[in-house]
Amino acid sequence: MAVSTVDGIICHALKSDKYSASKRVQTLWEGYGSIERITNIRNGVCPTAIIKHVRLKQGRDSSVGHQRKRRSYIVETEFYHRYGAQLCGENSPCRIPQAYASSTAIPDEIVLVLEDLDAAGFMLRRHSLNASEMKASLTWLAHFHAHFMQRPPAGIWEVGTYWHLATRQEEYERMRPGRLKREAANLDQQLLDAAFQTFVHGDAKPANFCFAADGRVAAVDFQYVGQGCGMRDVAYLLHGEGAHEDAMLDHYFGQLRAALAANRRGDIPFAALEDEWRRLYPVAKDDFERFLQGW
């Protein structure tokens, strides 16, 4: 069935004939669209859903930043289409929302019809994390990284994260002279040359993790998912942790070992992986700090 309206896409995805209420959750960057929660879904597969409606034509600016943002929405759509079903199960250790539809049927628009994680029990949002929430988020990352370890990316960023050097030359030029500016290319290359690569979330900040009262966690926002060394995600999430950093890093690697075993990845030599990624962790920290200095 071909549908060419937003309401038609939503109703078709949810197998519903009508919904009667919507509430704005947030406006997307630079007027690219909005995220809304719809309720009162009649005869549908769920009583409530999240709609991410992207209007690509709003970003007419030809700047690098706008082009990066435009592609990020296409990447997110591809991620849900190609990989989402692998991770959205109720018992998934790296839970994401189910995508009921990811449509580009309307020219210059993307409509993502997603599971409402609030309705699934993941109602808590944080801008900073306590120790248990940080460990839960690192556990999510460990399972995500294990699931996609050494898999070639398809449809997503060839290099994940929104701050890697190739896409941040304007920020690099704004940096003051110093060690990080001198070493920027070398830092980036070390991460690109890592023998062990996975898919990184690419924007693993506290606000993109959703918590349940029983300690479960899910993640959202896959605009910058792509291939990379897992330490890019971990260094970003742990930025500013200070005294707790070593313990959190130990927790991550313990969870990564368990996740690889659960995924039956006996082909991955864990000792070599851990050795390489621990060595690259300070590199990833410096690489992110390089971005911040020019931002």
Instruction: Give the pLDDT confidence of 216-249 residue by residue, as tens digits.
Output: 999 999 999 999 999 999 999 999 888 799 999 9
Class of 124-294 in CATH: alpha beta
- Domain locations in the chain? 6-115, 124-294
- Would you say the CATH fold of 124-294 matches that of 6-115? no
- Name the token pair of 44: 């549908």
Superfamily of domain 6-115: Phosphorylase Kinase; domain 1 (3.30.200.20)
3-state secondary structure of 18: strand
Instruction: Give the pLDDT confidence of 88-142 residue by residue, as tens digits.
Output: 999 999 999 999 998 888 988 999 999 999 999 999 999 999 999 999 999 999 9
DSSP structure class, residue 89: S
291 pLDDT more than 60: yes
Rounded-to-integer distance, Cα 142 and Cα 183, Å: 28
207 and 125 Cβ atoms separated by less than 8 Å: yes
pTM (global) more than 0.85:
yes
**4, 80, 13: which is closest to 45 by C-alpha?**
13
Question: Where does residue 202 fall: left (phi above 0), alpha (psi -120 to 50 degrees), or beta otherwise?
Answer: left
